[in-house]
Structure formats: C-alpha cells, structure tokens
Amino acid sequence: MRGANDPYASLWYRQNVDLGPVHSLGGSATLDGYGTSLAANGRFHSQALQGDAYAQSSSFNNNLSGGLNLESTLALGAGKLAMGGSNLPLEAGLIIDVESDLHGVKLRANDGQGMSAVLHPGRNIVPVTTFKSGHVRFDFDTKDVPPAQIQPLAVDYHLNRGGVGYHTVKVMRTVTVFGRLLDGQGQPLHGAHVVNDAGRTVVEVDGYFNVEMSESRPTLEIRHDAAGSCLLTLPPDNFDREDDLLIVGDQRCVPSVG
C-alpha cells in the first residue's frame, strides 16, 4: 500500500477568453504516487444555452473521464417560443427579436428595477419584474457607440408571474445627410418636411437641411404644403462621404403628376 508520504503536487491555470461562445478555459496537472493526472475544463455561453465541460485522465490507469453540464431557459408566450442561455431569475419575461444592420452588435436591456440582459441579433429573453407596470430600455452594450439607431428605445410591460410578452427591436446603421433642397424652378424649398426611417427635419430658409438616414433604406420623403411631395433616393455610394456624413449637394423635388 502507498503511504501518507507519497509525493503529491498540483498545478492549475484558468483564463477568461473571447472565442465565440467559449468564455473561459482551464487546465491542471496533478502528480501523485501513481503518476500524473491531466484535466481540462471550459465554460461556454450562447443565446440558447450555457454550461461547462470537463475532461480528466486518471493517474492510476490513464482512463479518461469527462462531463457536460447544460443550462437553458425556455419561454413560451404571445405566440412565440424562445430559449435563453443565461441563468436568469425568470418569473416573467419578454421575448425580444433583434433585427440589425450591424454584424455582431450587442444591446443592453434594462428594466430599471434590477433586471437586465445582453441582447444579440436574433431571438432573446429579457427577465422583467412581475405584478407592476414597467418599461425596458435598450442601449448599445459598448463604450464606442456605432453610427446607428435603436428603434424603439424602450417598450412597456405589465406581466403576472409566468407571463411572457413579445417585441421586435431594430438596429439601423445610419448616416447624416447634408444637402440643399430645391423646387422644380431651382428655388429653395424652405419649410419642407424631410422624413426617413431614422429621422426627420424641416428645410431651412436657404434650402439647406441635414437629417439622419438609414443606410439600408436610403430614401427621403419630402412633404411640402404648396409644392406637394416627392421621394429622393440617395445611395451612399453615389455621393461624397466623410466618415458618417453624406454630402448630397443640390437635390430637386419635382412631384410626380397624376
């Protein structure tokens, strides 16, 4: 038999990583009277589930063993089904579909009462407080805010325990359009309303305007009480651009007839 004086030593290491769904990796080596045992482990987190996995070799006979632990939250309500990978204290929740022009964007959802979650493009679950009216606000989960808009910025809820609501949130990449609007005779079309999915403004007396515009839908609707209305399509690749500023120059609004 091996005694209490048999050699024993252990070394372990753990590192937080950013490898897609893998958030941490670790490993260890143990030396005892039988030999050396090696082990490895990792923790992962995706939109649908989270968990950890481990594997270990025996110093006695080199047999390999391992395990996998999985956690997931299932929400069903408002005609929608969602799975969440966070370990949420979920008594009630909102299913949030995020539609985004930006690849890999992350949003932070917060109900102002201690519940929060990180949202990714696709389907997400947000825990909310029960038995009282509230609202969830959305913001970018980054220090460097991209040139984009979140619509809507907040949604309301009032859910009992076990309740599930549903909302869609859109993230639009935007540019600021700067130009001058003229009528069919080349005169400034002052007072016209310029409307886009991402913003709206009123044209100044000299015809100049600037407005935020969706890059994926680069169309401005012009509304004027006297001159009528028209649509301007402004593909960003067709104009001079300085970072997130699109300079479109003079644009004529000639309403279509009939």
- Enumerate the domain spans of the chain: 9-71, 89-172, 174-252
CATH number of 174-252: 2.60.40.3330
Please, which residues have CB within 8 angstroms of residue 198's CB and are 6 or more apart in sequence? 149, 172, 174, 212, 213, 214
Across 222-230, average pLDDT:
84
What's residue 150's pLDDT?
A: 95
pLDDT tens-digit map of 70-103: 666 667 777 777 766 665 566 788 999 999 988 8
Q: Is the model's pLDDT at 203 over the cut of 80?
A: yes
Are 220 and 234 in contact, with CB atoms under 8 Å apart?
Answer: yes
C-alpha 256/C-alpha 258 separation (Å) is: 7
Q: What is the pLDDT of residue 85?
A: 61
Q: What is the pLDDT of residues 142-201, one digit of tens each?
A: 888 888 999 999 999 999 988 889 999 999 999 999 999 998 889 999 999 999 989 999
Mean pLDDT score of the chain, rounded to an integer? Answer: 85
Does position 238 have pLDDT exceeding 50, yes or no?
A: yes
Q: Are strands 228-233 and 73-77 parallel, antiparallel or unpaired?
A: unpaired
Look at residue 70 in the predicted model and tell me its pLDDT: 66
Q: Tell me, what's the pLDDT at 71?
A: 66
Cis peptide upstream of residue 152 (ω within 30 degrees of 0):
yes
Topology of domain 89-172 in CATH is Immunoglobulin-like (2.60.40)
The encoded tokens of residue 245 equal 């500023």
pLDDT of residue 139: 95
In the DSSP assignment, the letter for residue 216 is S
Domains 89-172 and 174-252 agree in fold: yes
